[in-house]
Structure 1
Amino acid sequence: MVYRMIFNQTAYFGRGAIKEIPNEAKSRGFTKAFIVTDPLLVENGTAGKVTDVLDEAGLPYEIFDDVQPDPPVENIQHGVEAFKASGADFLIGLGGGSPQDTCKGIGIVVANPEFSDVLSLEGVAPTRNPSVPIFGVPTTAGTASETTINYVITDTANKRKFVAVDPHDIPVVAFVDPDLTDGMPRGLKVATGLDALTHAIESVITPGAWGLSDALSMQTIRMIAQNLAKSVEGDKDAGEQMAYASYITGMSYSNVGLGLVHGMAHPLGGRLGVAHGVANGILLVPVMEYNKDFSGEKYRDIADAFGIEDAYTGDLEHVRDEAVAAVAQLTRDLGNPTTISEVGATEEDLVPLAHDAFADVCTPGNPRQATEEEILGIYRSLM
C-alpha cells in the first residue's frame, strides 16, 4: 500500500503569527495581496489586524469582502473577476470555511479558466495548474481549510453543496494565529469545535487511515476532549489549543478522507441552510453508533482520549459504547442541537436529504458502506 500526504509548504503557529505574512510574501516575490474575507470580519476589526501588518510593511493589497456563508458558485465567479481586475499576484484567505473555500475557488479558476463554470470542479477535480498562491489565515478553529486540499461550494440552483478535492488548491503558507480566533462567539466555538472533532474521528476510522494520519487525528481528539468545553467558556489558553488542534486534524483528513457524518451534513447545509459544524454535531453520535461494529479497535483509542479508564482493558463492545457516550455527553454539555427537527427539517425533507447524502463524495469513505435506505433511517431517527 502506498500512502500520499500533502501539506503546506510552510506554516506558522502562535500569537502574532500574522506578522510573518509580509516576510513570506516578499521572499516569494509577491507584490500585491488580494484578501478574501467576509463583511463581518471587516466590521469587527479582524481584517484590520492583517491589513495593519501589510500597511506597516508597505505591501499593497485589495480587499474582497463579498464572501457569503456557504459560498455559492456565483460568489466564486464574482471573486475571479475582481481578482483579475486587481493586479494582485497572491491571495490571502482570511476567515473560517466560507472565505477560505471562496479563496480556493478563485485561485483555482483563475489558474484554470476552463473550469469557470465552477460546477465542473466537483469531486476529484482534474485541474492542470496550481492555484494562484494562497496564504491561509483562519479565524475559526474547526474547518482547517488553511491546510486541506478540499473546498465546499453551494450549487444554489439545485439546493446542494458539493466538495472539490484538488491538491492544486492547498495554501502555500498557513498562519494559525490564536489572536484571530479568540473573538469567536460561543455558538461558533461550539460549531467549529464539533467540526474539528468530527474531522478527527472520521479520519481515524476511515479505511484509508494509517499510522501517520492516526497519530495526527488521535492527538487532535485528545486536545479537543481536554480543551473544547473550556474554550467555549472563554479560556484563551484552551482556545489556543483548539486552533492548533483544528490544523493538526486538517493535515490528516485532507489526505485520508472523511465519511458518512460529512456526507449527511452537506445536504443539511445545502437544502436547509444548517451551519456545517452544527450539522456535524447532530450527526456525529448516531453515525458513530452506526459504525461502531466496523471500527476495529479504534474506539478504544477514542475512549482513552476522553479519559475512560478501561479503554484498553474493558470488553470491546462495552468500550465502544463508552466512546460513543463520551462524545454524546460533550455534545449535550456544549448545547448543540441533537435532532434535525430542531434545525428545521420536516418529514418531507428526509428522502431528498438521504438521496443527496448517498451521492456525496464523502460517503464512500465511511468504514461501513451505507445504503440510501439506511441513511434515510438515520435521518428519520433524528426527527
Structure 2
Amino acid sequence: MQFFKLKTRISKFDDFGGFAQDFNLSDKDLVITNEFLYEPFMKPLNLPCHFVMQEKYGFGEPSDEMMNSILNDVKKLDFNRVIAVGGGTVIDISKLFVLKGLTNVVDAFERKIELVKEKELVIIPTTCGTGSEVTNISIAEIKSKQTKMGLAVDELLADDAVLIPELLRGLPYKFYVFSSIDALIHAVESFVSPKSNPYTQIYCKAAIESILDIFVKIGQQGPEYRFERLEDMLVASNYAGIAFGNTGVGAVHALSYPLGGNYHVPHGEANYQFFTEVFKLYNKKNPTGCIAEVNKLMADKLGTTTENVYNKLEEVLSALLSKNKLSSYGMKESEIEAFTQSVFEKQGRLLANNYVELSKEEVSEIYRSLF
C-alpha cells in the first residue's frame, strides 16, 4: 500500500511581488482571483496576465454554473499556466481549468471525458483551511443534482503551492475561524483514516498542535491575536492538506455535503456542525484504536482529560464562534432521512474512509441530535 506522496513544490514569499518576479508572470498566465485581492496586491504591479474575478460569476461555494460561465469566457484566451489566488472556491474552479478539451465541468465530475492535464497549475491559498493547494480534489455544487460532487484525480494536483501569509490579513474573522476549523477537521479525520500511517500522522500532529494552540490563545486574548500567527496557521493548514491528500477524510465531510448542497452553507461552517458529534460516536464504537492517540494529543493541548476532550474541544471552538442548529439554516426535520439517504448514495467515497463503519440509523441520529 502506498504510504505517502507529495508531487507539489511548496514555496513561501513575503509578498505577492516577490512571487510574481520569481515565477516570471506573463501574458501566458491566467490568474483566477477576487477583486478584493487583485486591487491591493496585484493591480499595483501592472502584470501582463489575464485576470478573471471569480465573484463576477456568482458568490458562495463553487458550482457547475459558475465554473461553466468562466470556462466559456476564458476558452478564447491564450494561456499555458493557471494561477489560483484565493480561497476554496477559486482553487476548486482553477483546478478544472488545467484539463484538456473541457467544455462542461459536469462531464469531468462524472468522468464522462478522458481527464488529461495540459496546463501548469499554481495555487496560492488566501484562507487557512482547505489545504487544497496540495490535494488532488475539486469539489463543486452540482445544482442539477442538488448535491456536491468531488473529483479526486492526480491531474488536478498543483505543480506549485505558494504560501504568502500577508494575503490572509484581510480575511474576515468569521471566515478565518471556519476555514481554520476545517483545517483542524482535515488533520483529525486524516489521523483516524484507515489509510493513516506514520508519515501522514507527522503532519496531522503538527497541524493539530499548532491550530489548537492558536485557538486557545485567541480565546484568551481575543480575535486580534490571529494576526500574530498568520504564517503558523497557513503552514498548519498546508500540513493538514498534505495529510488528508494522502489519506482522505470521512464522515464529517460526508454528512456536511447535503447541508452545503441544499442550503448553500460554506464548506468549513458545514463541517463544523458535525465535527464533534461524529467523533463522539467514533470514540463510543471503538475507543481503543488510533482515536485514542488523537484524543490524548488534543487533550494535552487543551489541558483536559481524554474522557472530557470533546466537551473541552466544543468549549474552545464555541469561544471562537458558536455552533448553529441545523434548523437555523432552513433544514426541515422531514429532511433528516433524505439527507441520510443522500450521504449513503452519493458520498460512498468518503464513508469508505471512516474510522469505523456507521449505519444509516446512526447517521440519521447525528442529524436528529443536531437539528
Q: Is the pair's TM-score, using the shorter chain for normalization, greater than 0.5?
A: yes
Count how many residue pairs are aligned between Structure 1 and Structure 2.
361
> 2:317 aligned with 1:331, yes or no?
yes
Whether the aligned pair in 1 keeps the contact of 2:15 and 2:164 (CA below 8 Å) is: yes
Match of 2:300 in 1: 307
Once the two structures are superposed, residues 263-293 of structure 1 have per-residue CA deviations (whole angstroms, 9 ceiling, x without a partner) of 0111110011111111111100000101114
Whether the aligned pair in 1 keeps the contact of 2:127 and 2:176 (CA below 8 Å) is: yes
Of all paired residues, the percent bearing the same amino acid is: 20
Q: CA deviation at 1:175?
A: 1.4
Whether the aligned pair in 1 keeps the contact of 2:295 and 2:309 (CA below 8 Å) is: yes
Match of 2:6 in 1: 6
> 2:218 aligned with 1:225, yes or no?
no
- Selected match of 2:30 from 34, 40, 45: 34
Match of 2:50 in 1: 61
Q: 2:149 aligns to what SS in structure 1?
A: strand
Q: CA deviation at 1:184?
A: 1.1
> 2:129 aligned with 1:142, yes or no?
yes
Deviates more, 1:343-352 or 1:249-258: 343-352
- Selected match of 2:166 from 170, 179, 185: 179
Whether the aligned pair in 2 keeps the contact of 1:193 and 1:228 (CA below 8 Å) is: no
CA distance in 1, matches of 2:31, 2:356: 41
> 2:361 aligned with 1:365, yes or no?
no
CA distance in 2, matches of 1:23, 1:282: 41
Once the two structures are superposed, residues 346-383 of structure 1 have per-residue CA deviations (whole angstroms, 9 ceiling, x without a partner) of 20221221112223132221111122222111101111
Q: 2:42 aligns to what SS in structure 1?
A: helix
Q: 1:193 aligns to what SS in structure 2?
A: helix
- Selected match of 2:89 from 84, 90, 98: 98
Q: 2:171 aligns to what SS in structure 1?
A: coil
Deviates more, 1:78-87 or 1:283-292: 78-87
Q: CA deviation at 1:118?
A: 2.3
Q: Give 1:1-383 correspondences, 5 Å limit.
A: 1-8=1-8, 10-16=9-15, 19-25=18-24, 31-37=27-33, 41-42=34-35, 44=36, 46-52=37-43, 55=46, 59-65=48-54, 66-68=56-58, 69-108=60-99, 111-113=100-102, 116-122=103-109, 127-228=114-215, 230=217, 233-235=223-225, 236-292=227-283, 293-294=285-286, 296-307=289-300, 319=306, 321-358=307-344, 359-360=346-347, 361-383=349-371
Q: 1:85 aligns to what SS in structure 2?
A: coil
CA distance in 2, matches of 1:124, 1:288: 32
Whether the aligned pair in 2 keeps the contact of 1:200 and 1:249 (CA below 8 Å) is: yes
Code of the residue aligned with 1:234 in structure 2: it is E
CA distance in 2, matches of 1:138, 1:76: 18
Deviates more, 1:344-353 or 1:283-292: 344-353
Whether the aligned pair in 2 keeps the contact of 1:34 and 1:64 (CA below 8 Å) is: no
Cα–Cα, structure 1 residues 126 and 148, in superposed 2: closer, same or farther, change >3 Å? farther
Unaligned runs of 5+ in 2: none
Whether the aligned pair in 2 keeps the contact of 1:147 and 1:171 (CA below 8 Å) is: yes
Deviates more, 1:331-340 or 1:260-269: 331-340
CA RMSD of aligned residues (A): 2.4
CA distance in 2, matches of 1:60, 1:335: 38
Q: 1:92 aligns to what SS in structure 2?
A: strand
Q: CA deviation at 1:323?
A: 2.7
CA distance in 2, matches of 1:308, 1:228: 10
Match of 1:315 in 2: none
Cα–Cα, structure 1 residues 261 and 67, in superposed 2: closer, same or farther, change >3 Å? farther
Q: 1:225 aligns to what SS in structure 2?
A: helix
Once the two structures are superposed, residues 161-211 of structure 1 have per-residue CA deviations (whole angstroms, 9 ceiling, x without a partner) of 111101111111111111111111111111101111110100000100101
CA distance in 1, matches of 2:296, 2:230: 22
Cα–Cα, structure 1 residues 181 and 199, in superposed 2: closer, same or farther, change >3 Å? same
Cα–Cα, structure 1 residues 349 and 365, in superposed 2: closer, same or farther, change >3 Å? same
CA distance in 2, matches of 1:123, 1:18: 38
Whether the aligned pair in 1 keeps the contact of 2:215 and 2:317 (CA below 8 Å) is: no
Whether the aligned pair in 1 keeps the contact of 2:31 and 2:49 (CA below 8 Å) is: no
CA distance in 2, matches of 1:254, 1:53: 35
